[in-house]
Amino acid sequence: MSPPSRKHTLLFALLMSCYMAFLMSAILTAVNTGLDAGFIGRWLRAWLLAWSCAFPLVLIGAPRLRRLLLRYVGP
């Protein structure tokens, strides 16, 4: 199995971090503050903060986790 291209890695990190931050920030904002009139604004602020952290973390963590997985499971 050949390693993914740099473009593939960046696009995957962008999409995965956006997807996960979007959903998790919605759930946690709703649980912690409720679904009232200000929910959307709080959610979008939380998403932006979460995504700005998640994107670089996925870029850093995904290659290491992929190597770890291949070591224990194989290609």
Segments making up each domain of the chain, as ranges? 6-31+39-73
Residues 6+ apart with CB under 8 A from 39: 29, 30, 33
Judge contact between 25 and 48, C-beta under 8 A: no
The residue assigned the tokens 């903060």 is 49
Token couple for 24: 């998790």
Q: Is the pLDDT of residue 1 over 70?
A: no
pLDDT tens figures, 26-63: 999 999 999 999 999 999 999 999 999 999 999 999 88
pTM given for the model = 0.78
Residue 62's pLDDT is 86
